[in-house]
């Protein structure tokens, strides 16, 4: 067990190069096609790394129309979208401890079948119910990369899904 996260040890699935916004949109579609009710996807990365843009791509792929603005819930903390399954987008940047996360009832929404996409949620994996797919977004000049990491058995199932051909995957040199 990883004491910080209260989950199974983390397993890196892949690193995906995101040289363009179009590549990030393709990753969002891939995520949207693979989520099932109760999934947790936690987005990490610095300010401007593309967490909200990726979530917007997921929302569009799940059927949220262009007339609906998909913005960061930094101040409202949670946005919900009428998709199947229901998409909940949360931003925990302004949250200071786990009890505040508990008050948002995100774990309960997940238990009732919502798919959670949570920005800045890595410190609160336990409060969110664990077993998450972490998407770690990193900037390198004008380009970005996303490292996909599983924290539990459901999240590990993502490793069996082929990434789109147009997304370049770097080989994992750490495997023996």
What is the domain range of residue 152? 11-160
Residue 72 located in a structural domain: yes
Residue 4 located in a structural domain: no
- Ordered per-residue pLDDT tens for the chain, 176 residues: 344 444 447 889 889 999 999 999 999 999 999 999 999 999 999 998 999 999 999 999 999 999 999 999 999 999 999 999 999 999 999 999 999 999 999 999 999 999 999 999 999 999 999 999 999 999 987 789 999 999 999 998 988 887 766 564 443 433 33
Residue 168 located in a structural domain: no
Nearest 5°: the CA angle 59, 61, 63 is: 75
Q: For the chain, how many structural domains are there in total?
A: 1
User: Model's pTM, two decimal places?
Assistant: 0.88
CATH number of the domain enclosing 141: 3.40.50.300
Residue 156 located in a structural domain: yes
Length of the chain: 176
Neighbours of 160 (CB within 10 A): 8
pLDDT of residue 170: 44
What are the start-end ranges of the H helices in the chain? 21-34, 51-61, 98-103, 106-111, 125-128, 153-156
Residue 176 located in a structural domain: no
Residue 105 located in a structural domain: yes
pLDDT of residue 3: 42
pLDDT of residue 104: 97
Residue 148 located in a structural domain: yes
pLDDT of residue 86: 97
pLDDT of residue 102: 96
């Amino acid at each position: 067990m990883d004491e910080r996260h209260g989950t199974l040890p983390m397993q890196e699935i892949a690193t995906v190069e995101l040289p363009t916004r179009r590549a990030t949109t393709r990753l969002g579609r891939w995520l949207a096609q693979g989520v099932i009710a109760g999934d947790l996807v936690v987005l990490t990365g610095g300010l401007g790394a593309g967490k909200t843009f990726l979530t917007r791509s997921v929302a569009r792929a799940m059927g949220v129309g262009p007339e609906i603005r998909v913005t960061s819930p930094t101040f409202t903390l949670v946005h919900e979208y009428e998709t199947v399954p229901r998409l909940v987008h949360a931003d925990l940047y302004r949250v200071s401890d786990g009890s505040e996360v508990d008050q948002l009832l995100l774990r309960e929404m997940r238990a009732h079948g919502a798919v959670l996409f949570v920005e800045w949620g890595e410190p609160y994996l336990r409060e969110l119910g664990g077993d998450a797919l972490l998407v770690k977004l990193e900037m390198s000049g004008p380009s970005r990369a996303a490292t996909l990491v599983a924290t539990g058995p459901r999240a590990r199932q993502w490793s069996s899904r082929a990434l789109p051909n147009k997304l370049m995957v770097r080989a994992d040199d750490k495997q023996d």
